[in-house]
Amino acid sequence: MPSRQSVVQLRGAAPVVLPSLLLCDFGNLERDVRRLEDAGVRGLHLDVMDGHFVPNLTYGMPLVEAIRKLTDLPLDVHLMISDPAQYASQFCDAGADGLTIHIEAAPDPAPILQQIQDLGAAAGLAFNPNTPVEAIEPYLPLCDIVLVMSVMPGFGGQAFNAVAIEKLKYLSDRIGPEQSLEVDGGIALPTIASCAGAGAHLFVVGSAIFGTSDYAVSVSQLEERARTAFTTTGR
């Protein structure tokens, strides 16, 4: 069964680095998951792309299920797909603890967010850099997570778009104490502090972990950089 609470509780541990498995070594999946566990990560981020909503195709339910069998860490699943309502139940059955959908794929996300919570998972709503923050504001009460994209979804390794900073600042004054602000795209040592200072709690990181030789050192450095900014601002 999905564990909504395991994702909601990450807010209390903020700042939290969530490795994006999009860049892991799928030929050595168990090894990479163990390395991340040993590095002390508190959750994993899984990017699901359908080749339609975004111009790339990744993995689906079978891989989520395989990762679920490898770890008890919370699985934060990001659905970059055209019809999230059709697949929400299957991803929860596969082991997702949180499901984030895109407002660009679901202009009225309210029933899907409620469906996700009814399935026992944390409900997240994502929006792209070119989507105004006002588009998601009516749905904030239904969200456990609000995911601010700092790149256009579809490919890893893109440069950080600073438009995310103002959106994080705006949203940090409008969410409740059990809701988390998440940021995804181009998060690395040069960018994580500004996001933390703007109010982000969860940081999706790809190449800044998987492109290094020592996951534990990389995760520690990222969290320390974020923690300093997070503490300084008091957010």
CATH number of the domain that residue 97 is part of: 3.20.20.70
The tokens for 197 are 């200072």
C-alpha triplet 76, 139, 191: angle, nearest 5° = 50
The tokens for 91 are 């991803």
Q: Which of 32, 47, 76, 97 is catalytic?
A: 47
CA-to-CA dists, residue 18 to 51, 134, 185, 188, 201, angstroms: 24, 26, 12, 12, 10
Cα 91 to chain centroid distance, Å, stands at 15
The tokens for 134 are 């006002």
More confident residue, 6 or 157: 6
Sign of CA dihedral 111, 116, 122, 124: negative
**pLDDT tens sequence across 215-231:** 999 999 999 999 998 76
Which pLDDT band, with edges at 50, 70 and 90, does 50 fall under? low
Q: Which domain holds residue 115?
A: 4-233
Amino acid code (one letter) for 156: G
Alpha helices in 119-188, H assignment, sequence order: 163-172
Q: Which of 32, 76, 144, 184 is catalytic?
A: 184
Give the total number of structural domains in the chain.
1
What's this model's pTM, rounded to 2 decimal places?
A: 0.94
More confident residue, 7 or 157: 7
47 is catalytic: yes
50 is catalytic: no
